[in-house]
Chains A and B, each alone.
Chain A
Protein backbone atom coordinates (compact mmCIF):
# COMPACT_ATOMS: atom_id res chain seq x y z
CA UNK A 1 0.00 0.00 0.00
CA UNK A 2 1.20 3.49 -0.84
CA UNK A 3 -0.62 5.04 2.15
CA UNK A 4 -0.79 8.82 1.75
CA UNK A 5 0.77 10.27 -1.40
CA UNK A 6 1.51 13.97 -1.84
CA UNK A 7 2.61 15.81 -4.94
CA UNK A 8 4.76 17.67 -5.66
CA UNK A 9 7.61 17.07 -3.20
CA UNK A 10 9.22 20.45 -3.86
CA UNK A 11 7.91 23.68 -5.34
CA UNK A 12 9.21 27.21 -5.74
CA UNK A 13 6.72 29.98 -6.44
CA UNK A 14 6.90 33.69 -6.96
CA UNK A 15 4.74 35.96 -4.84
CA UNK A 16 1.24 36.11 -6.31
CA UNK A 17 1.41 32.82 -8.18
CA UNK A 18 -1.12 30.10 -7.51
CA UNK A 19 -0.75 26.37 -7.12
CA UNK A 20 -2.53 23.28 -5.89
CA UNK A 21 -1.02 20.62 -3.64
CA UNK A 22 -2.44 17.19 -4.28
CA UNK A 23 -3.03 14.45 -1.73
CA UNK A 24 -4.45 10.97 -2.13
CA UNK A 25 -4.87 8.07 0.30
CA UNK A 26 -5.56 4.44 -0.44
CA UNK A 27 -6.61 3.30 3.05
CA UNK A 28 -10.34 4.00 2.61
CA UNK A 29 -10.12 6.63 5.34
CA UNK A 30 -13.00 9.00 5.92
CA UNK A 31 -11.03 11.96 7.27
CA UNK A 32 -8.22 13.95 5.71
CA UNK A 33 -6.13 16.88 6.93
CA UNK A 34 -3.69 19.53 5.77
CA UNK A 35 -0.99 20.73 8.18
CA UNK A 36 1.89 23.13 7.78
CA UNK A 37 5.16 22.77 9.66
CA UNK A 38 7.36 25.72 10.44
CA UNK A 39 10.54 25.75 12.56
CA UNK A 40 9.71 26.13 16.24
CA UNK A 41 5.96 26.05 15.56
CA UNK A 42 5.26 22.36 15.33
CA UNK A 43 2.41 21.33 13.05
CA UNK A 44 -0.56 23.63 12.62
CA UNK A 45 -3.83 22.52 11.10
CA UNK A 46 -4.89 24.44 8.00
CA UNK A 47 -8.08 22.62 6.96
CA UNK A 48 -9.59 19.23 7.48
CA UNK A 49 -12.35 17.11 5.99
CA UNK A 50 -14.11 14.86 8.47
CA UNK A 51 -15.86 12.98 5.68
CA UNK A 52 -16.42 13.15 1.95
CA UNK A 53 -18.34 16.30 1.11
CA UNK A 54 -17.38 18.29 4.21
CA UNK A 55 -14.50 20.64 4.95
CA UNK A 56 -13.71 22.76 8.00
CA UNK A 57 -11.19 25.41 8.91
CA UNK A 58 -8.35 24.62 11.22
CA UNK A 59 -6.03 26.91 13.12
CA UNK A 60 -4.46 28.77 10.17
CA UNK A 61 -6.84 28.72 7.16
CA UNK A 62 -6.24 32.24 5.78
CA UNK A 63 -4.81 32.25 2.26
CA UNK A 64 -5.80 28.66 1.53
CA UNK A 65 -8.71 26.78 0.01
CA UNK A 66 -9.38 23.07 -0.06
CA UNK A 67 -11.39 20.60 -2.09
CA UNK A 68 -12.40 17.11 -1.05
CA UNK A 69 -12.64 15.77 -4.57
CA UNK A 70 -13.77 12.29 -3.49
CA UNK A 71 -13.08 9.94 -0.61
CA UNK A 72 -9.46 9.41 -1.72
CA UNK A 73 -8.36 12.91 -2.64
CA UNK A 74 -8.01 16.18 -0.73
CA UNK A 75 -6.30 19.13 -2.40
CA UNK A 76 -4.95 22.38 -0.96
CA UNK A 77 -4.88 25.52 -3.10
CA UNK A 78 -2.90 28.71 -2.67
CA UNK A 79 -4.65 31.33 -4.79
CA UNK A 80 -2.03 34.07 -4.42
CA UNK A 81 1.11 32.81 -2.72
CA UNK A 82 2.88 34.97 -0.15
CA UNK A 83 6.35 34.57 1.41
CA UNK A 84 4.63 33.80 4.73
CA UNK A 85 3.35 30.60 3.14
CA UNK A 86 6.86 29.24 2.76
CA UNK A 87 6.64 26.04 4.76
CA UNK A 88 6.52 22.27 4.64
CA UNK A 89 2.99 21.01 4.02
CA UNK A 90 1.77 17.64 5.19
CA UNK A 91 -1.38 15.81 4.26
CA UNK A 92 -2.73 13.18 6.63
CA UNK A 93 -5.67 10.83 6.88
CA UNK A 94 -7.49 8.89 9.59
CA UNK A 95 -10.35 6.43 9.67
CA UNK A 96 -12.66 9.13 11.02
CA UNK A 97 -14.50 7.04 13.58
CA UNK A 98 -14.25 9.88 16.12
CA UNK A 99 -12.38 8.29 19.00
CA UNK A 100 -8.71 7.36 19.01
CA UNK A 101 -8.00 9.00 15.68
CA UNK A 102 -4.51 8.02 14.55
CA UNK A 103 -3.10 9.99 11.68
CA UNK A 104 -1.19 8.62 8.72
CA UNK A 105 1.02 11.21 7.07
CA UNK A 106 2.36 11.79 3.61
CA UNK A 107 6.02 12.64 3.08
CA UNK A 108 5.41 16.36 2.70
CA UNK A 109 5.73 19.18 0.17
CA UNK A 110 8.47 21.73 0.69
CA UNK A 111 7.19 25.05 -0.66
CA UNK A 112 9.23 28.20 -1.06
CA UNK A 113 7.59 31.50 -2.01
CA UNK A 114 10.01 34.14 -3.22
Chain B
Protein backbone atom coordinates (compact mmCIF):
# COMPACT_ATOMS: atom_id res chain seq x y z
CA UNK B 1 0.00 0.00 0.00
CA UNK B 2 1.10 3.57 -0.57
CA UNK B 3 2.99 5.29 2.22
CA UNK B 4 1.60 8.68 1.30
CA UNK B 5 -1.98 9.56 0.58
CA UNK B 6 -2.94 12.93 -0.76
CA UNK B 7 -6.08 14.93 -0.43
CA UNK B 8 -7.84 16.16 -2.43
CA UNK B 9 -7.23 14.08 -5.56
CA UNK B 10 -8.20 17.07 -7.68
CA UNK B 11 -8.53 20.78 -6.96
CA UNK B 12 -9.76 23.58 -9.21
CA UNK B 13 -9.48 27.23 -8.16
CA UNK B 14 -9.41 30.71 -9.67
CA UNK B 15 -6.18 32.47 -10.46
CA UNK B 16 -5.03 34.52 -7.51
CA UNK B 17 -6.56 32.23 -4.90
CA UNK B 18 -4.53 30.06 -2.54
CA UNK B 19 -4.30 26.29 -3.05
CA UNK B 20 -3.82 23.84 -0.21
CA UNK B 21 -2.97 20.17 -0.62
CA UNK B 22 -2.55 17.62 2.14
CA UNK B 23 -0.46 14.49 2.52
CA UNK B 24 -0.70 11.79 5.15
CA UNK B 25 1.80 9.00 5.73
CA UNK B 26 2.10 5.91 7.86
CA UNK B 27 5.62 5.36 9.18
CA UNK B 28 8.38 7.47 10.72
CA UNK B 29 10.27 9.55 8.21
CA UNK B 30 13.57 11.36 7.74
CA UNK B 31 11.98 13.99 5.54
CA UNK B 32 8.98 14.74 3.36
CA UNK B 33 9.27 16.30 -0.07
CA UNK B 34 6.91 17.85 -2.59
CA UNK B 35 7.27 17.50 -6.34
CA UNK B 36 5.42 19.04 -9.27
CA UNK B 37 4.63 17.31 -12.55
CA UNK B 38 3.46 19.23 -15.57
CA UNK B 39 1.43 17.28 -18.10
CA UNK B 40 3.59 14.85 -20.06
CA UNK B 41 6.77 15.74 -18.16
CA UNK B 42 8.92 14.33 -15.39
CA UNK B 43 8.65 15.36 -11.76
CA UNK B 44 10.47 18.41 -10.47
CA UNK B 45 11.53 18.81 -6.84
CA UNK B 46 9.91 21.76 -5.07
CA UNK B 47 10.73 21.67 -1.38
CA UNK B 48 11.99 19.36 1.36
CA UNK B 49 11.09 19.51 5.04
CA UNK B 50 12.95 17.46 7.63
CA UNK B 51 11.24 15.51 10.39
CA UNK B 52 12.49 17.97 13.01
CA UNK B 53 11.08 20.98 11.15
CA UNK B 54 7.51 22.24 11.40
CA UNK B 55 7.29 24.80 8.62
CA UNK B 56 9.28 25.82 5.58
CA UNK B 57 8.88 28.50 2.93
CA UNK B 58 10.14 28.82 -0.63
CA UNK B 59 8.80 31.74 -2.63
CA UNK B 60 5.00 31.28 -2.86
CA UNK B 61 5.21 27.81 -1.34
CA UNK B 62 4.64 27.05 2.32
CA UNK B 63 4.98 23.53 3.69
CA UNK B 64 4.01 22.37 7.15
CA UNK B 65 4.76 19.07 8.81
CA UNK B 66 3.04 17.55 11.84
CA UNK B 67 4.86 14.37 12.77
CA UNK B 68 2.43 13.61 15.59
CA UNK B 69 -0.39 13.42 13.05
CA UNK B 70 1.86 12.06 10.30
CA UNK B 71 0.65 14.72 7.90
CA UNK B 72 1.91 17.58 5.78
CA UNK B 73 0.33 20.36 3.79
CA UNK B 74 1.51 22.36 0.80
CA UNK B 75 0.13 25.87 0.39
CA UNK B 76 0.58 27.75 -2.87
CA UNK B 77 -0.28 31.41 -2.44
CA UNK B 78 -1.52 33.80 -5.14
CA UNK B 79 -1.88 30.99 -7.66
CA UNK B 80 -1.07 31.47 -11.34
CA UNK B 81 -2.15 29.61 -14.46
CA UNK B 82 1.39 28.22 -14.68
CA UNK B 83 0.85 26.43 -11.35
CA UNK B 84 -1.55 24.04 -13.11
CA UNK B 85 0.09 20.63 -12.59
CA UNK B 86 -0.01 17.52 -10.45
CA UNK B 87 1.65 17.73 -7.05
CA UNK B 88 3.11 14.74 -5.25
CA UNK B 89 4.36 14.26 -1.75
CA UNK B 90 7.18 11.81 -1.16
CA UNK B 91 8.56 10.47 2.08
CA UNK B 92 12.02 9.23 2.89
CA UNK B 93 11.35 6.55 5.47
CA UNK B 94 13.67 6.30 8.46
CA UNK B 95 16.47 3.85 7.80
CA UNK B 96 15.93 3.83 4.04
CA UNK B 97 17.30 5.89 1.20
CA UNK B 98 14.55 5.57 -1.36
CA UNK B 99 11.50 7.80 -1.58
CA UNK B 100 7.90 6.60 -1.54
CA UNK B 101 5.42 8.74 -3.45
CA UNK B 102 1.78 9.53 -2.87
CA UNK B 103 -0.87 9.38 -5.54
CA UNK B 104 -0.82 13.10 -6.23
CA UNK B 105 -3.20 16.05 -6.34
CA UNK B 106 -4.18 17.42 -9.72
CA UNK B 107 -4.36 21.22 -9.46
CA UNK B 108 -6.10 23.34 -12.09
CA UNK B 109 -5.84 27.13 -11.98
CA UNK B 110 -8.61 28.83 -13.95
CA UNK B 111 -7.82 32.22 -15.49
Q: How many A-B residue pairs have CB under 8 A?
A: 61
Residues of B8-58 contacting chain A, CB below 8 A? 30-31, 33, 35, 40-45, 48, 50
Given contacts A103-B45, A108-B41, contact A33 B98 (CB under 8 A): yes
* Complex contacts, B64 vs chain A, CB 8 Å: none
* Complex contacts, B31 vs chain A, CB 8 Å: 99-100
Query: What is the minimal beta-carbon distance from A79 to any residue of chain B, in angstroms?
Result: 24
What's the Cα separation between A102 and B30 when bound, in Å?
Answer: 12
Residues of A80-98 contacting chain B, CB below 8 A? 90, 92, 96, 98
Count B interface residues, CB 8 Å.
25
* Complex contacts, B33 vs chain A, CB 8 Å: 102
User: Is B97 in contact with A41, judged by CB distance below 8 angstroms?
Assistant: no
Query: What is the minimal beta-carbon distance from B8 to any residue of chain A, in angstroms?
Result: 13
- Sample 22 A-B pairs with CB under 8 A, ordered by A number: A40-B103, A42-B88, A42-B104, A43-B43, A44-B101, A45-B98, A45-B99, A58-B98, A90-B42, A92-B42, A100-B31, A100-B48, A100-B92, A101-B92, A103-B43, A103-B45, A103-B90, A103-B99, A105-B44, A107-B41, A107-B42, A108-B42
